Structure 1
Amino acid sequence: MTSWTDEASWVGTRRPMRTATGLDPAAYASDEFYFVEQRRVFGQAWVCVGIADEAVAGRMLVRQVGSKSVLLTRNDTGDLRGFINSCRHRGTELAEADCDIAGTIRCPYHRWGYSLDGALKATPFFNEVPRDDFDKSEFGLLPVRVDTWGVLLFACLSDDTPPLLDWLGDLPDRMAGYHLDTWSTVHQESLDVQANWKLITENFQEYYHLTWVHPELAKVSRVADHYRYQGRGMYCGQTTTPVSGDERDDWLALPEAQGLDASDLVSGRFVAIFPNVILSVLPNHVWMMRLDPLAPGITRETCTMLLPDGVRDGDGDGDADADADAIAPTRRFWVDVNNEDIDIVQRGQRGLARGGVPAGPLAPRFEEPLHRFHNMLADCMTNDGLGALRVPTGDQPGDTWGAGDNPTPAAIDRVAKGA
């Protein structure tokens, strides 16, 4: 039996890029790997659990993080809180789905009540025969670490894992010009994909397949216009510069965000934050996918489209109700692209599960982000805690991955090169 927590299982991953191999097929199809991964990755990492504008006062979110169900609340002063979804009396599930809530979290079983900060406030009839050892202050909901960045909500089950900003590294600075914390949801849909979550994010991270799988996407995100977009942090990134509108303008149909610099204004940023969120950031919209593993070969995708503040409809008049006709071409474009991806990753899953051929070589020109991602995975799988996590660095002098030097580099990359 393979020990996935042992470095000996990751020899091919740990090799330098030009000699590294992909993951063992069992990483995508094995129940054994899946259960270890749920504990070591999703039980320790900062996991994306939603969009920031979902967490509002009066609303409680219910999310699965690894093997745990988690509640997220926001009180009237805006403080975000996370808790294990279990009553401190006899462990009953407090909520089974997102729901509206007044000021109290109520257990449906014996009506114990908790404040939005998790403190135990009500224990009906419990003290009719008093207990000598009972103190309400000791039986609040068990807390879970939660935090936000930009449009994203995160939760982390481990107290050892570094703070979210350490996890993200330079990404908040890299994308600061977009002011993503002001963007809002205009469309959301969920679907179950018959493929492992890693296949979905790996597919996003590389553009080797672009010409053949996405002939229409290749017209606005040309292979020759892909460049590096990653520095220090638990993420993999690439950029298309410029985003083209020569043959079709689906990505350019909406008004642009205000205040973008020369690089952000002409580029598409494609970032996979480890482990489970995919961000496609364009000058005028974001298409985001959250990946929730349900089984080794099943992933729930939650796809969200967001628009910048003040551009929530087609004419840019700031109306909070998005004009469905205005966003339809862009939304339809992403749905079509995603359907192409779903087909190919499901075929990949079938090949890995039914064929199980040994891991093959990675293509240095296109698949360096996968090597970076696989090593993040290996770091989590081989460590009981992430207190000493090795956050990946950015490109080093002499690295020649990708298409070379971006003619319109991001501001952070210009500074790094002294330009």
Structure 2
Amino acid sequence: MTWPPAPLDPDELAGVVRPFGASRMLPARAYTSAEVLGWEHRHLFAGTWSCLGRLAELPAQRGATVGDVPVLLTRTGDEVRAFANTCRHRGHELLPDGGSADGRVVVCPYHGWVYTVDGALAAAPRFRDVPGFDPAEHGLVPLPARVWHGWVFVNATGDAPPFEEYAGALTELVAPYAPDRLTLAARHSYEVRANWKLLHENYQECYHCPRIHPELCAVSPPDSGDNYDLPGAWVGGSMDLRDGMATMSVDGRSGGVPLPGVDQRRVRYLALLPDLLLSLHPDYVMTHRMRPVAPDRTRVECSWLMPGGVADPTYAVEFWDRTNRQDWAACESVQRGLASPHFRPGPFAPNEDAVHQWVTLVGRAYRGDPPWAGG
């Protein structure tokens, strides 16, 4: 399978996919063009596996937009189904983006067609006596959905590979933290005036940490850790905690409880294309779920997951809210710099190999190779 190429100069992309040490960053249009973002919505978001939140927070029915494709989710217990959010009569949305319902059936608000939660057409007013009308031919269009470690993922175009293949080795790395058994302790929402890919790139390196993250550097050496090179459409690595530090907090102390069976001296930072960042700590899991709304604007939902019974998550929330805002300010400055007519894609520093992995993944996708296609 191949994708149509993104609306970018092929010569500029040739420099992006070169080996580490010889490659360059993405061209400015990748971050500033509405046409490029439209391509990303269809292919990098709708065409892969997008995260739509936590299973524990999903109502019986929810409308969502994945990239540029309206999707309807239905939930029965721990079972989640996804469908094209378009009535088989005249195409009306069954629920608006972000809308929810608790009924046992799905009712189109336009003409009252009724569907079961498994997508079958149950009733079509005034069609009972229409010759040749077969309800079995007018069920909702099903889409692939998967619950993974407590998060719900959907492939809105219906043609991505199985989620297990897409996530690859990431599944095993996340498993010891058992995020599906953790509870939501806190959540912050941000609107960042920067392209969504800049947030990913910033997340993949600590080259910038000594300049803008004094609190982070006090508890974790910015030059510590390693980056992974394992199967799946993701990029990530780890960093160490300094001696005497229990977790990532302002003073390095934990106000929670250690997660059993995980490395107590290391923090993992993992990014699953396109929209989920996972920060795995000795005592909590933090996620950033991203939704691009314009070439220069991204909505970010930051969630802290902890074992039940933790009374006060402030120690982790305060640290990362401060760090997030430092990062967002840097990304917004980069976005303004990318708008300059004088910008030219720069090289990667020796410790930006994970950024190179991320940019290569995106650059190959722009040239028509889906992120699961390999090198």
Q: Structure 1 length as normaliser, TM-score? A: 0.82
1:59, distance to aligned residue in structure 2 (A): 2.7
Q: How many residues get paired? A: 367
1:114–1:121 Cα contact (<8 Å) kept: yes
Please give the alpha-carbon distance, in whole angstroms, between the structure 1 residues aligned to 2:71 and 2:243: 42
Matches within 5 A, 1:226-241: 226-241=225-240
Call closer, same or farther: CA 1:305–1:201 in 2, change over 3 Å.
same
Could you say which residue in structure 2 is the equivalent of 1:403?
none
Query: What is residue 390 of structure 1 aligned with on the other side?
Result: 373
Please name the residue that 1:50 is paired with: 53
- What SS does structure 2 have at the residue aligned with 1:364? coil
Secondary structure of 1:18's counterpart equals coil
Once the two structures are TM-superposed, the CA of residue 355 in structure 1 deviates from its matched residue by 4.2
* Aligned residue number for residue 339 of structure 1: 325
Quote the Cα distance in structure 2 between the aligned partners of 1:300 and 1:16. 32
Shift, 1:230, TM fit: 4.1
Preserved CA contact (<8 Å) 2:46 2:155:
yes
Measured after TM superposition, the shift of residue 330 of structure 1 is 1.3
Tell me, yes or no, if the aligned pair for 1:287 and 1:306 is still in contact at 8 Å: yes
Per-residue CA deviations over 1:293-335 (Å, capped at 9, x if unaligned) read: 111111111111111xxx3233xxxxxxxx3xx1122112111
State the 1:209 CA deviation: 0.5
Q: 1:90 to 1:245 in 2, by over 3 A?
A: farther
Corresponding position: 1:122 with 2:126: no
1:334-378, CA deviations, whole angstroms, 9 ceiling, x for partnerless residues? 11111111111111111112345110111122x111211112112
Aligned twin of 1:4: 7
Change (3 A) 1:171 1:121: same
Q: Distance in 1 between matches of 2:342 and 2:139?
A: 47
Map Cα deviations across residues 223-272 of structure 1 (whole Å, 9 max, x no partner).
13232244222111111123555494456221111233xxx222111001
In structure 1, how many angstroms separate the alpha carbons of the residues matched to 2:52 and 2:367? 24
Matched ranges for 1:23-172 at <5 A: 23-55=26-58, 58-76=59-77, 78-96=78-96, 97-127=98-128, 130-172=129-171
Secondary structure (helix, strand or coil) at the match of 1:226 reads coil
Cα deviation 1:131-158 (Å, max 9, x = unaligned): 2231111111111211122132211123
**Tell me, what secondary structure is at the counterpart of 2:131?**
coil
> More deviation in 222-231 or 4-13?
4-13
Contact 2:146 2:152 in 1 (8 A): yes
What's the counterpart of residue 398 of structure 1?
none
Which residue does the alignment assign to 1:370? 355
On the 8 A contact 2:32/2:195 being kept in 1, the answer is yes
Two-structure CA RMSD over aligned residues (Å): 2.2
SS at match of 2:53: strand
Q: Distance in 2 between matches of 1:207 and 1:195?
A: 19
- Picking from 255, 258, 267, the partner of 1:256 is 258
Structure 2: tracts of 5 or more residues without a match: none
Q: Shift of residue 43 of structure 1?
A: 2.7
1:313 is the counterpart of 2:309: yes
- Is 1:348 the counterpart of 2:334 in the alignment? yes
- Cα distance between partner residues in 1 of 2:168 and 2:122: 39
CA distance in 2, matches of 1:269, 1:103: 40
Q: What CA distance in whole angstroms lies between the structure 1 residues aligned with 2:120 and 2:200?
A: 38
Match of 2:298? 299
For 1:409, the equivalent position in structure 2 comes to: none
Contact 1:379-1:389 within 8 A present in 2 as well: no
- In structure 2, the residue matched to 1:16 is 19
Q: Which moved more, 1:18-27 or 1:78-87?
A: 78-87
1:281 is displaced (CA, Å) by 0.8
Alignment of 1:134-213 (within 5 A): 134-213=133-212
Residue 316 of structure 2 is aligned to residue 330 of structure 1: yes
Identity %: 32
> 2:64, 2:301 → 1: CA distance?
12
Structure 1 residue runs of 5 or longer lacking an equivalent are 315-322, 393-419
Kindly tell me: are residues 201 and 356 of structure 1, through their superposed partners in 2, closer, same or farther at Cα, counting changes over 3 Å?
farther
Q: 1:284 is matched with which residue?
A: 283
8 Å contact kept, 2:227–2:354:
no
Q: 1:242 to 1:274 in 2, by over 3 A?
A: same
Q: Which amino acid aligns with 2:150?
A: V
